[in-house]
Chain A
Amino acid sequence: MLAAAGVWRRCINITIRSLNGAKVVTRGFVSSENAEESGKADSDVYDIIISGGGMVGTAMACSVGFDPNLQGSKILLLEAGSKKEMDKAPDVYSTRVSSISPGSATLLSGLGAWDHIVNLRCKPYQKMQVWDACSDALITFDKENLQDEMAYVVENDVIVAALTKQLHALSDQVEVQYRTKVVKYTWPRPYHAVTSIPWVKVTLADGRTLKTKLLIGADGSNSMVRREAGIPTVKWNYDQSAVVAVLHLSEPTENNVAWQRFLPTGPIAMLPLSDRESSLVWSTSHQHAEELLQMDEESFVDAINSAFWSNENQSELVEAAGSLFRAALSFLMPDGTSTRQLPPSVAGVGPKSRVMFPLGMGHASEYIRHRVALIGDAAHRVHPLAGQGANLGFGDVSCLARVLSQAAFNGKDLGRCTMMNSQAGKILLSSLLLL
């Protein structure tokens, strides 16, 4: 069947080629400005330009910088913001945190950034409890005997600072330009006349124009790279906003459990930051989110405790069905149930730590095109309820770095579309499954 599909594709190609035969010569020529520049090799052609210096962009820069097969390549990281450096962790926790999976930790460890993160600030946790507000449904994720860490809660700023420190070690290999804004991208055509410039042109706000063989877009969910490349994106708003805050617990506790409860309005989650502090991520309707932000601290704390502890939403019917199901399950799998724990109670909120932002889903239809690749939120934007957005991004970094390394070892032109398509399929599939 595959062979037939391939034959069919060939027939289509033949037909298209024969129909376009007359247009081939004219189609190949790009505008006249390029024709003037033909025939002279620019020394400032970069091999890779990464647009966006967040967690994922900086991790990508480190990955290609450390790769032995890419030694000698010209790599540039462009970031619109300023450099994030951190010698020691600030006293106040940052609101934006990520739950880093062991896979992402392995990647960061390979880049040498994990040691910096551990030295700065990071909280491992061994268990996650997810339960429902309307019934007794509950699921826990943990490893046996709570020996190994399940994941780590790290502030986003800490991750970026650790990766930036590693980039210092690569200053010969990777060039970084901070406070640099891109205003325009110009793409070459996949099939071009040999006289035209085959590279991507990046025009900066200060008027400079750079050229690159491969442009990696790591510029977030509102990616300019994706927009200007014309890559169609499926996106919609969830009609929900997330309220994030830093919570002070009533009493110190081991705090090695992540809590998530599904309320009728949306999930509320508490991620451990330390013995006394946790991070809140409460996804709810826009209206409720605004109310939460307007409340005074005491009412806000009450709302959080009530959301985690209250049983007023329990439905009798659902409860009856649930207990029947559990009885049947315990008959089949006597050891299948786990004990329910209650989350720690909250006493206070960090000063000025309450923030809200709208939630949406976004998914680019293609992650890889001729001379451009999208990674991180530029490629796929997900709901924070599973805490996997950053991990997906690090997965993209790991996969793309491997592809580029292999391509360089085979002497290939980085940025050639055909080279990367098979790998793009793998990344696409894993993020689609998560959506």
Chain B
Amino acid sequence: MYCNTFGRFACRVFRESRFQCPMNKGQGTMSKRLATWTSCKHYKQFLERHLSNLKFMGVATRLVQHVRTVSHSTLDPAEVRKFQAMANKWWDLQGDFAALHSLNDLRVPFIRDNLLNVHSVHPISKPLAGLRILDVGCGGGLLTEPLGRLGAVVLGIDPVEDNVRIAELHASHDPVLQDHVQYRACTLEELADEEEEHFDAVLASEVLEHLADLDTFIHCCHCVLKPGGSLFITTINRTQLSYVSSIVLAEWLLRIVPGGTHDWDKFITPVELERLLESSGFCVESLRGMFYNPACGAWSWQKSTAVNYALHALKQRAEPQQDHIQPESDGLDASAHTDGPHQYNIRTAGRDTHTHTT
């Protein structure tokens, strides 16, 4: 019953609206356009937005399918347009990206400490000296700059040219960053051809939920990483709680991020991500939940990965690691990941102020 009502409503909405699928502009008659359009992924996204506006939340979750398709490009043109419009706001600390700025309090120590665990000890003032890092989807350079200050040589890439321009301008004022930070306007696929096995670490922070094709993306990450290299991902889980917090609360009510920033359908669960990583030649080392407190604008670690989570995976080396293949003690069942993450030990030079074991 709901399907019929919804279908009639959707057709009426389509006719009355001025939305045109970018793929099908000006092709043939109205009915032809409708036929090709309903199978187009943009239609699904458009419907979801209208449905959620009319509060048919229950219907939306049942009807909307997973929009990711296997394509040759990780780029989603709609996402590119979205971020182009916000390019000037990256470095406004109280602006639209304030939550990303405060997320550095969690993700920079997470990356730093895990890299220190894997690699040998470096000079104290530049703990990441000698490491090459790739920051995919660097935006305005919010995560690239702190890692550059810690001594790493970081390449930040972003498909939006305006973002890269802003990032370069911001870094140009600081002489410390000149030798450590570089930016390029390109996609990961374009880079993967040139820079095979070049990086000690790849960062994909708050990126996965904006991509069109995850399989290609993970495959490209695998290509550019050295054997034993680290992949750091922070992203949002696809749960009902994450819909309420990331879409309803964060976008509509509290305006922590601009409306339309996230597409719930593109969120990925830790189970799916781990499965994808393990099948692509990675070994997941740690998984931790994160919590954003809108009252004070600060992030903190938490056990539950129900909304935001951070993940560290290592690219497996060429020789087979026998101790990882243990089907009886498989740790990938879904309950384990919603209840608690893996053990997360930090071994640093002894001066870190926090020790997290969860």
Contact A412 B169 (CB under 8 A): no
Contacts of A25 in B (CB 8 A): 88
Q: Which of A7-15, A245-253, A286-294, A386-394 contacts B (4 or more CB under 8 A)?
A: A7-15
Q: Is B172 an interface residue (CB 8 A)?
A: yes
Contact A410 B169 (CB under 8 A): no
A96 to chain B, nearest CB (A): 37
* B residues 113-153 in Cβ contact with A at 8 Å: 123-127, 145-150
Contacts of B175 in A (CB 8 A): 41-43, 45
Q: Is A337 an interface residue (CB 8 A)?
A: no
Contacts of B101 in A (CB 8 A): 418
Contacts of A39 in B (CB 8 A): 169, 172
Provide the bound-state CA to CA distance between A333 and B262, in Å.
68
Q: Is B331 an interface residue (CB 8 A)?
A: no
Closest A residue to B111 using CB positions: A411
Q: Is B23 an interface residue (CB 8 A)?
A: no
Provide the bound-state CA to CA distance between A9 and B297, in Å.
10
Contacts of B256 in A (CB 8 A): 10
Q: Is A2 an interface residue (CB 8 A)?
A: yes
Q: Is B272 an interface residue (CB 8 A)?
A: no
Known contacts A71-B125, A411-B147: does B93 contact A418 (CB below 8 Å)? Answer: yes
Contacts of A47 in B (CB 8 A): 176
Contacts of B125 in A (CB 8 A): 68-73, 408
Contact A411 B169 (CB under 8 A): no
Q: Is A239 an interface residue (CB 8 A)?
A: no
* B residues 18-51 in Cβ contact with A at 8 Å: none
Q: Is B260 an interface residue (CB 8 A)?
A: no
Contact B124 A7 (CB under 8 A): no
Known contacts A71-B124, A71-B125: does B169 contact A38 (CB below 8 Å)? Answer: yes
Contacts of A409 in B (CB 8 A): 127, 351-352
Provide the bound-state CA to CA distance between A57 and B150, in Å.
27
Q: Is B92 an interface residue (CB 8 A)?
A: yes
Contact B254 A10 (CB under 8 A): yes
Q: Is B100 an interface residue (CB 8 A)?
A: no
A11 to chain B, nearest CB (A): 8
Q: Is B173 an interface residue (CB 8 A)?
A: yes
Provide the bound-state CA to CA distance between A13 and B295, in Å.
12
Q: Is B294 an interface residue (CB 8 A)?
A: yes
Contact with A13, one of B94, B108, B174, B293 (Cβ below 8 angstroms): B94
Q: Which of A137-145, A193-201, A274-282 contacts B (4 or more CB under 8 A)?
A: A193-201
Provide the bound-state CA to CA distance between A198 and B104, in Å.
20
Q: Is A416 an interface residue (CB 8 A)?
A: yes
B323 to chain A, nearest CB (A): 33
Contact B295 A2 (CB under 8 A): yes
Provide the bound-state CA to CA distance between A418 and B100, in Å.
13
Provide the bound-state CA to CA distance between A71 and B169, in Å.
26
Q: Is A336 an interface residue (CB 8 A)?
A: no
Contacts of A195 in B (CB 8 A): 169
Provide the bound-state CA to CA distance between A408 and B148, in Å.
12
Q: Is A342 an interface residue (CB 8 A)?
A: no
Closest B residue to A72 using CB positions: B125
Contact B174 A41 (CB under 8 A): yes
Provide the bound-state CA to CA distance between A304 and B150, in Å.
60
Provide the bound-state CA to CA distance between A195 and B168, in Å.
10
* B residues 242-267 in Cβ contact with A at 8 Å: 254-256
Provide the bound-state CA to CA distance between A42 and B173, in Å.
7
B103 to chain A, nearest CB (A): 12
B223 to chain A, nearest CB (A): 27
Contact with A406, one of B148, B255, B353 (Cβ below 8 angstroms): B353
Contacts of B170 in A (CB 8 A): 194
Known contacts A71-B125, A411-B147: does B91 contact A194 (CB below 8 Å)? Answer: yes
Contacts of B127 in A (CB 8 A): 409
Provide the bound-state CA to CA distance between A41 and B352, in Å.
32
Contact A191 B95 (CB under 8 A): yes
Contact A45 B174 (CB under 8 A): yes
B351 to chain A, nearest CB (A): 7
Provide the bound-state CA to CA distance between A196 and B349, in Å.
38
Can you offer 14 A-B residue contacts whose CB atoms are under 8 A? A7-B294, A13-B94, A39-B172, A40-B172, A41-B172, A68-B124, A73-B125, A194-B91, A194-B170, A406-B353, A410-B112, A411-B146, A411-B148, A411-B149
User: 4 closest Cβ contacts across the A-B interface?
Assistant: A6-B295, A411-B146, A71-B125, A411-B149
Besides A6-B296, A194-B170, A410-B109, 18 new A-B residue pairs in contact (Cβ under 8 A), listed by A number = A6-B297, A39-B169, A41-B173, A41-B175, A68-B124, A69-B124, A71-B123, A71-B125, A190-B93, A191-B95, A194-B169, A410-B105, A411-B112, A411-B146, A411-B149, A411-B150, A412-B108, A418-B93
